[in-house]
Amino acid sequence: MTLESYGLWGLLVPALFTGAVLLLAWVSRQAAEQASRGWLGALAVGGAFLLGQAAALGGLPQLPPAQADDRLFWLVAGAVALAGVESLLAERRWPRLVLRGVYPFFVPWFLLARLLERRETVAVGGLGLALLLGWSALAAWSARRPGASVPLVLWSVTSGGALALLFSHTAKYAQLAGILAACLGAAVVVAWIRPSFALGAGAAGVVAVLLACFWIAGVWLAATPLPVESAVLLAVSPLLATAAEVGPLSRLAPRKAVLARLALASAALVPAVFLAWVEAPPPSPY
């Protein structure tokens, strides 16, 4: 895909799709609309990302998938479908908890399926547990924190992560992270238009799956691996922003609170990008 095509189909079109769906979801403040925002948020972000990735790949990936980025596509589709099922099971807590508890472990297993014979499955279990905890925390924060803070923090982490992946010569995943960053940028614009907007647990779940896949792929699947320390810092970065919800920072004025959350996330994001830059291999002379 040329740079112009990527800019149009990988960035602009997904961003417009996300913005349009989110605005439609927030036309009304009625309870019925609020009940549907979970899966609509997942569709807005996840559907737009799938559209952008399909355009970048020149069509739908293979099924069964032949390579890791094909697997990532179907994992995101699964996360969107999971948000829809959770909406249907809104009154049935235990089935929802089971689905939410199982899928985070499926994500690293499916993404790393071709490496399982050469990697310890214990590591896959650890990655699944980390995703489960991060997903739960991010979903809870995204559901209760209105305004631009959540999408802005996630946009900054995704954009910084794309840069870290690019430093590690993982251009394909850097491009995919750029698609997600464009979607989150549209969510920021929607939040500025409608200050009562909240990204919601469904969209947060899709973002959590995507970010986990980016960092896992950067460390495990790239020809030039992303430093493990960078991946850990990138994973922790959005969670640090939730610290502004307690203590003195929770009493800040809205604009200062947004800056505080960005600063907390940057405490891990900036070192992550710096480490990736320091450890970046020299460019190939060929």
Q: What is the DSSP string of 80-149?
A: HHHHHHHHHTTT-HHHHHHHHHHHHHHHHHHHTGGGTTTS-HHHHHHHHHHHHHHHHHHHHHHHH--SSH
Domain-embedded: residue 203: yes
pLDDT exceeds cutoff 60 at 61: yes
Mean pLDDT, the chain, integer: 88
Assigned domain for 13 exists: yes
Q: Which domain holds residue 137?
A: 3-278
Per-residue confidence (pLDDT) for residue 286, from 0 to 100: 52
- What was the pLDDT predicted at 94? 76
Q: Which contacts (CB < 8 Å, 24+ apart) does range 258-266 have?
A: 258/147, 258/148, 258/149, 258/152, 261/149, 261/152, 261/153, 262/152, 262/153, 262/156, 264/240, 265/153, 265/156, 265/157, 265/237, 265/238, 265/240, 265/241, 266/156, 266/237
Percent of the chain predicted with pLDDT > 70: 92
Nearest-angstrom CA–CA distance, 107 and 73:
11
**Residue 116 confidence (pLDDT):** 66
Least confident span in 30-44, 66-80, 134-148: 30-44
Helix, strand, or coil (residue 30): coil
Number of domains observed in the structure of the chain: 1
Q: Any idea which of 66-70, 155-159, 198-202, 264-268 has the lowest mean pLDDT?
A: 66-70
Contacts of residue 80, defined as CB under 8 A and 6 or more positions apart, other chains included, come to: 39, 42, 43, 46, 47, 50, 206
Distance between CA atoms of residues 200 and 206, nearest Å: 11
Specify if 59 maps to a domain: yes
Average pLDDT for 265-279: 96
Note whether residue 284 is domain-resident: no
Residue 285 has pLDDT above 70, yes or no: no
pLDDT at 143 over 60: yes
Which of 17-21, 32-36, 38-42, 258-262 is least confident?
A: 32-36
pLDDT in tens, 198-215: 898 999 999 999 999 999
**Is 32 a residue whose pLDDT tops 50?**
no
| Model confidence at 35: pLDDT above 50 | no
Mean pLDDT (whole number) for 133-151:
93
- Measured between alpha carbons, how far apart are the two ends of the chain, in Å? 21
pLDDT at 1: 65
Of the candidates 103, 104, 127, the one whose C-alpha atom is nearest the C-alpha of residue 115 is 127
| 36 domain residue, yes or no | yes
Give the C-alpha separation, 162 to 172, whole Å: 10
What confidence tens digit (pLDDT) does each residue in 106-135 have? 999 999 887 766 556 778 889 999 999 999
Say if residue 65 is preceded by a cis peptide, omega within 30 of 0.
Answer: no
Cα gap 147→197, rounded to integer Å: 6
The answer, yes or no, to whether residue 47 has pLDDT greater than 80, is yes
Average pLDDT estimate for 175-180: 96
- Tell me: pLDDT of 176 over 70: yes
Q: What is the pLDDT of residues 64-115, one digit of tens each?
A: 888 888 999 999 999 999 998 987 776 777 788 888 899 999 999 999 887 7
**Would residue 283 count as lying in a domain?**
no
